[in-house]
Amino acid sequence: MPEQVQTFQIGDLELDLLTSSNVFCPNVTTSKIAQTIEGIQGKEMLDLGCGCGPIAIYLAKHGASRVSAVDVVPQATEIARQNVKNHGLEELVTVYCGDLFAPIADQKFDIIVNDVSGIAELPGRAAGWYPQAVPTGGDDGANVVIRMFQNVKNHLKPGGVLYFATSSLSNVQRILDGANEFLGQKIEELGAFRIPFSKELTDIIDPLTKLCEAGHVSFESKRSRHLWTLRVFRVQMP
């Protein structure tokens, strides 16, 4: 698919966004994370794993004083910059290309929204969420998120807040163990959402079942339906 403009529901906003089959496009996780974020007005914010820019644009439109957006995929950041320009937000949103916190050096933020790859490679690729140019979280989906936890405290102001999500199509326990190890603060669950499998996921039910048996992912089976669970969390620094 060449670059094209599509309309996405991001939290309470419908956003027209330039997208490409080579970059991560907004999905249900993007929208659910956005709708849980509170206290945006006047805050300095970081959108980590910005893709084509939906959350960064959402934050700016909801009153953030400054938004930095980071993605490791060069084409994603190019498209995100174009989307920021198309929405007239160039003075509020700055897009960087690089791995996690590397492009923002020692900057600190009031709120960080983490949307880096957090789904096991098999379902992430099969569902089309992660094109080949986009790195995944590894066999159990936890690797990139845990690397984020290792450094996130260095980029939060006192009293700063981190939002992150987990998918049961990853090793949720390993991710939460990493959060507890590196953050050392109370992790507040904001919501859990059960989401039916797409056809693409249903088509790989046998290898997904093997991943489940290995403890890498989990899902529910209800008669002929299968469901995965998205959970959104909030951590506040002292």
d(CA 227, CA 148): 27
Identity at 25, one-letter amino acid code:
C
Print the domain residue range for 100: 8-236
pLDDT at 223: 82
Residue 83 in any domain: the answer is: yes
Residue 144 in any domain: the answer is: yes
d(CA 212, CA 170): 9
Tokens coding 23? 């970059």
User: Angle at which helices 74-86 and 54-61 pack, to 10 degrees?
Assistant: 30
Residue 1 in any domain: the answer is: no
Q: Residue 92's domain is classified under what CATH number?
A: 3.40.50.150
Mean pLDDT of successive 10-residue stretches along the chain, which has 238 residues: 87 95 88 94 97 97 98 96 98 97 95 93 88 86 95 96 96 95 91 93 94 94 91 95
Residue 3 in any domain: the answer is: no
Domain total of the chain: 1
Residue 212 in any domain: the answer is: yes
| Residue 226, beta-bridge partner list | 221
pLDDT at 48: 97
Residue 2 in any domain: the answer is: no
Rg of the chain over Cα atoms, rounded to whole angstroms, equals 17
User: Which residues have C-beta within 8 Å of that of residue 177, sequence separation ≥ 6?
Assistant: none
Number of residues written out for the chain = 238
d(CA 189, CA 234): 6
* 8 Å CB contact between 233 and 190: yes
Residue 134 in any domain: the answer is: yes
pLDDT at 25: 87
Other C-beta atoms within 10 Å of 226: how many? 17
Closest CA to 101 of 151, 160, 42, 54: 151
Closest CA to 77 of 90, 95, 89: 95
Burial class (CB in 10 A: 0-12, 13-18, 19+), 12: exposed
pLDDT at 9: 94
Closest CA to 71 of 120, 37, 114, 110: 114
Q: Is 76 helix (H, G, I), strand (E, B) or coil?
A: helix
Q: Taking the CA of residue 53 as centre, how many other CA atoms within 13 Å lie in the half-sphere pointing to its CB?
A: 35
Residue 176 in any domain: the answer is: yes
pLDDT at 185: 78
| Helix and strand totals (H; E) in the chain | 8, 10
